[in-house]
């Protein structure tokens, strides 16, 4: 199936399964808080590894003890697609192991 922008209803259904994530305009986003700056940096590296594996890349921002991601799909003109939610689910699965909340 070719990649297509998700409808508003599809986005709402997927967001209901992903507490902490939101869609603002045409981007899927979430921020995490960690215990230390170094823990936050380690989470960034882990997310970067997953993004390389998926060949799908968020804008990923490291703060003092925060990590923020914002993603959409460039190849459909910058809309939210299934690929963005796939990345979000993978990040959700690994973040607790870093103590992220
Ligand atoms: C050639 C390569 O597969 C593409 O450029 C990938 C890489 N990472 C990407 N990341 C995101 N967020 N959207 C894309 O459409 C995208 N496309």
Q: Each residue of 13-35: pLDDT tens digit?
A: 999 999 999 999 999 999 999 99
Q: How many helices (H) and strands (E) does the chain have?
A: 3, 4
pLDDT at 1: 63
Instruction: Tell me which residue has its CA closest to atom 17 in ligand 1.
Output: 56
> Going residue by residue through the chain (101 aa), what tens digit of pLDDT does each one get?
679 999 999 999 999 999 999 999 999 999 999 999 999 999 999 999 999 999 999 999 999 999 999 999 999 999 999 999 999 999 999 999 999 99
The CA–CA distances, whole Å, from 20 to 15, 32, 73 equal 9, 9, 20
Quote the ligand 1 centre to 73 CA distance (angstroms).
7
pLDDT at 48: 98
1 half-sphere exposure, CB direction, 13 A CA radius = 6
List of domains in the chain? 31-80+96-100 (3.30.1360.20)
Closest ligand 1 atom to 71 CA: 12
Q: Is the ipTM of this complex over 0.90?
A: yes
Instruction: Tell me which residue has its CA closest to atom 1 in ligand 1.
Output: 55
pLDDT at 2: 78
**Which residues have CB under 6 Å of ligand 1?**
55-57, 71, 73-75
CA 77, 83, 87, 93 torsion: positive or negative?
A: positive
pLDDT at 51: 98
């Amino acid at each position: 199936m070719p990649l297509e922008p998700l409808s508003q209803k599809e986005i709402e259904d997927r967001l209901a399964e992903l507490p902490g994530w939101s869609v603002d305009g045409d981007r899927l986003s979430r921020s995490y808080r960690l215990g230390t700056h170094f823990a936050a940096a380690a989470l960034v590296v882990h997310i970067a590894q997953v993004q390389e594996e998926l060949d799908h890349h968020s804008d990923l921002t490291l703060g003092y003890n925060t990590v923020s991601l914002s993603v959409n799909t460039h190849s459909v003109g910058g809309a939210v697609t299934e690929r963005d939610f796939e990345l979000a689910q993978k990040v959700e699965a690994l973040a607790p192991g870093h103590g992220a909340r």
